[in-house]
Structure 1
Amino acid sequence: MEGLSVVMVLIAGSLLPLQAGVNALLARASGHTLWAAGVSFFIGTIALILVFILQRASWPMLSQLKTAPIVAWAGGLMGAFFVYCMAFFAPKLGAATLLALVISGQIGMSLVLDHFGVAGYTQHVISWQRVLGFLLMLSGVFLIKKF
């Protein structure tokens, strides 16, 4: 199962630059990035509902949903911001710079989340080696952008 997980996550990651590009195409065709991001979320929502129904999964009870902390509901807002930024900046930055920035942002936030053990992550104290890895990634962003 672990091998399948690795492959699925690699595929999901490889689709990010493609998703940014096709959403940018939709934004250009429609004349508005917000519209393109909304359509992307709408189609994704329909797809998830269909998969949920096909799996014959049980719907959560309202009482279960009420137990989630308020911050747990912010994921959709974060996703909307991400999809909007990808569609807006993809044509301006290019795929390599765009994703280098995304990955660097993800690693930077991951270091903070791990260090403090928040949002459900196990605590891993930040080290100079981890910070160095992050700084090397940022230097990679600079090189990708420059050349």
Structure 2
Amino acid sequence: MQIALYAFPVLAGVLNAIHSGTNAQLTTSMSRPWWAAVFVCAVSGIAILPGVLISRESLPSLASIAGTPWWAWVGTVIAAVPVITTLLFAGRLGGAAFNGLVVTSTIVTSILLDHYGLLGFSVHSANIWRIVGAITMIGGLTLVCAF
């Protein structure tokens, strides 16, 4: 089970890179990035339904929905930003630069969130090795974008 803990995020990263390319092509083909975003989100919602059906999850209770902190709902709106950003910019920047920017900014932000234990994350101090890792990623990203 420990392998799955790492394997699925790696798979998500691989699919994210592929996703950027397919969405860039969707935008090119449609010439309508905002409508492409609607289609991406709608089809994604439909693609999740088999998992809901197979798992036989019941609907969440109204109490659990009402008891969710307001800031947790912000994520549902934030989820649209990567979709439209991919549709508007991945094709122009190229896969390596676009995904490098996304991944590096995600790592740097995550180190800060972990350090302070924000948004429900466990505290993981921003020690020297994490900071060196972030700086190394920024250096690598600079090379990818420059060349």
If the TM-score is normalised by the length of the shorter chain, which range does it land in? over 0.9
- Match of 1:90? 90
For residues 11 and 125 of structure 1, what CA distance do their matches in structure 2 show?
26
Please show how residues 14-29 of structure 1 align to structure 2 within 5 Å: 14-29=14-29
SS in 2 for 1:101: helix
Q: Which runs of 5+ in 2 are unaligned?
A: none
Paired positions, count = 147
- Match of 1:102? 102
Superposed displacement of residue 126, structure 1: 2.0
SS in 2 for 1:114: helix
Q: Which runs of 5+ in 1 are unaligned?
A: none
- Match of 2:69? 69
Q: Which residue identity does 2:107 align to in structure 1?
A: I
Superposed displacement of residue 38, structure 1: 1.4
SS in 2 for 1:126: coil
- Match of 2:39? 39
Q: TM-score, normalised by structure 2?
A: 0.92
For residues 62 and 49 of structure 2, what CA distance do their matches in structure 1 show?
17
What percent identity do the matched residue pairs reach? Answer: 30
Structure 1 stretches of 4+ moved >6 Å: none
Pairwise CA RMSD: 1.3
Q: Which residue identity does 2:37 align to in structure 1?
A: A
Shift in alpha-carbon separation, 1:129–1:6, aligned structure 2, 3 A = closer
For residues 40 and 82 of structure 2, what CA distance do their matches in structure 1 show?
12
For residues 121 and 4 of structure 1, what CA distance do their matches in structure 2 show?
20
- Match of 2:116? 116
SS in 1 for 2:118: coil
Superposed displacement of residue 77, structure 1: 1.5
Contact 1:24 1:36 (C-alpha < 8 Å) held by counterparts? no
